Structure 1
Amino acid sequence: MSFESEKSFSDFTNFPRGIRRSGRFSVKESELLEEFGTAMMEIYKGERKPKDSAEKEFAAQIHSNSIPTDPFAKVFKKYLKEISPRKTHDLTASGGDEDGDGSYDSSDDSIE
């Protein structure tokens, strides 16, 4: 059988209440991750060589930039996306003032 592992997968660092209770995965996705996630992570990190065609397909899809079609690759890419750092945008504007105190002096705006 593909993705065999003796221990179930958990990531309490990123999901302190567990993958199933995080609300980010469906029931089926969380079951796949918990049951096969350890093997998928080992293949992803290169700690384990793919044993059969399903694992080879997973490895090929997980390391490519294409959209995965394999259900294992789909759920594992979703997991990787969920644990990746979020990109944030700073929406504060710089007033361009020289003194850096954040104040704006309207007397500098002269209309001619």
Structure 2
Amino acid sequence: MATINREQISKKAFNDFKNYPYGFARSGDFSIRESDLLQQHGSLIAALINGEIEPMSAEEQSLLAVARGEKAAESAVEKAWSKYQARINRPKVGSMYGRSRYADDSFELSVADDDDIVVED
């Protein structure tokens, strides 16, 4: 199996086709600058989080701390990554056409036998 070095990871463009199938720039969630920063630095940040590479500089250690939630974002890259994480980890919103609003099994509707409609002439 070929080993991937830091140079190859940093040159690889970051894409999240599951959450952003048309790219970050076309999603409407990110500005042009934020989408560029995510594409340029996202692969490196993902590799740092997954443990594929070790942080070599203070900037990379800061990126890793922000990605883990240990510190607040300060630089533009850190803010873009935090915004990306907040967007992909937000709770899913229900639809009025989708599932029922009572999701847990402990809630049951009491159904009476006399709720048939009777039409008299």
Report the number of matched residues: 100
Structure 1 position 55, deviation (Å): 0.5
User: How do 1:1-112 and structure 2 match up within 5 A?
Assistant: 5-84=10-89, 86-88=91-93, 91-92=101-102, 96-97=109-110, 99=111
Q: CA RMSD in A?
A: 3.0
Structure 1: distance between partners of 2:59 and 2:73: 13
SS of 1:5's partner is helix
Bigger drift between 38-47 and 81-90 goes to: 81-90
Structure 2: stretches of 5+ with no match in the other structure: 1-6, 95-99, 116-121
Check 1:68–1:96 CA distance in 2 against 1; reply closer, same or farther (3 A cut).
Answer: same
CA contact (8 A) 1:33 1:75 kept: yes
Check 1:52–1:66 CA distance in 2 against 1; reply closer, same or farther (3 A cut).
Answer: closer
Check 1:77–1:96 CA distance in 2 against 1; reply closer, same or farther (3 A cut).
Answer: same
Structure 1: distance between partners of 2:108 and 2:88: 35
Structure 1 position 64, deviation (Å): 2.4
Structure 1 position 40, deviation (Å): 1.1
SS of 2:23's partner is coil
Structure 1 position 18, deviation (Å): 0.9
Structure 1: distance between partners of 2:35 and 2:88: 14
SS of 1:15's partner is coil
Check 1:104–1:7 CA distance in 2 against 1; reply closer, same or farther (3 A cut).
Answer: farther
Could you tell me the TM-score, scaled by structure 2's length? 0.66
Structure 1 position 12, deviation (Å): 1.3
**How far does the alpha carbon of each residue in 1:52-93 deviate from its partner, in whole angstroms, 9 at most, with x for none?**
11001111122125432232221112111222252446645x
Could you tell me the TM-score, scaled by structure 1's length? 0.71
Fraction of identical pairs, as percent: 29
